Structures are given as C-alpha cells and as structure tokens.
Amino acid sequence: MKKTKKSISILLSLVIVLTMSVCAYANETDSSSVKAPGYGTLKGYLESAGIGAMGYHETTVTYNNDNAQLGIKSVIKDINGNDISENSTLSDRGEIEHYWQWYPLSEGMYSIYATHEVRNGSKYGAKAVYTYTKI
C-alpha cells in the first residue's frame, strides 16, 4: 500500500511539473477586428512564441479594390513599460494580407503592442485595430 501511495504521489508530482513547463512555453495570442468601409473587415492578429522564438504579426482585409496599403507597427516593451524596440512595415498597394515576423525575441523583452491598419486608399478612409501579447 505504501509503495502504491508513493508511486501515485510521484506520478502526480511529475504531471504537475510537466503541466507547468508546458504552460511556461505556451504561445500568447491576441486578435481584433473592425468593419472598415470599402475594405470589408479589417483583422489584426499577433502571436508571441516566447523568448528565443518569434513574434508573428498579421493584418488582413476582406477586399481591397481601393488600392490601399496594409500596415503593421509593433512596439516591444520591457517589464517596466519602457520601449525597447519598434518597427513598422507597409504592404504593396492592393494587397489583402500582410505578414511580418519579429525574430528572435530576446531576454528583457516583456510585451508586444501592435497596430494593424489599412490606409492610403484612393477613396476610403484609414482604419486600425490594436493587439497586445506578453512574450
């Protein structure tokens, strides 16, 4: 009986440790969307795969007959909220998808704030959505 209790206790401890280690490396994601006149729906998606991995950014619209550009602006902050690094990128005109990766995410980086936008169209106004993840 003692051996069975000890085996169960060890097994439960192992399960808890493995569960905690998986959670520590789980991806953080965020998404946001808004109706954008002339473009259907503007969607922003942000994913952080953790330190040593990447931050993945995606901006999409349903359609883009206005020949607009899709943009991504990303700011990485430290644990105190100070900006560490920032980057912005624009798609070619008329695209409906725009992707960008920040690689590698390194020590001292704590969170990513991203702006996903459609802009510079010939007829319709700009629109933006915002996403955030911890690293």
Domain ranges (residues) in the chain: 27-134
CA distance 30 to 126: 21
- Partner residues linked to 117 by β-bridges: 71, 128
Number of H helices, E strands in the chain: 1, 8
Whether the predicted pLDDT of 19 surpasses 60 = no
- Cis peptide before 37, with omega less than 30 degrees from 0? no
38 has a pLDDT exceeding 90: yes
Query: Is residue 115 within 8 Å of 22, Cβ to Cβ?
Result: no
**Number of CB atoms found within 10 A of residue 113's CB:** 17
Could you tell me the CATH superfamily of domain 27-134? Interleukin-17 receptor A/B, fibronectin-III-like domain 2 (2.60.40.2150)
Question: For the whole prediction, is pTM greater than 0.85?
Answer: no
* Residues 57-95: tens digit of each pLDDT: 999 999 999 999 999 999 999 999 999 999 999 999 999
CB 30 within 8 A of CB 131: yes
Q: 44 exposed, middle or buried (CB, 10 Å; 0-12, 13-18, 19+)? A: buried
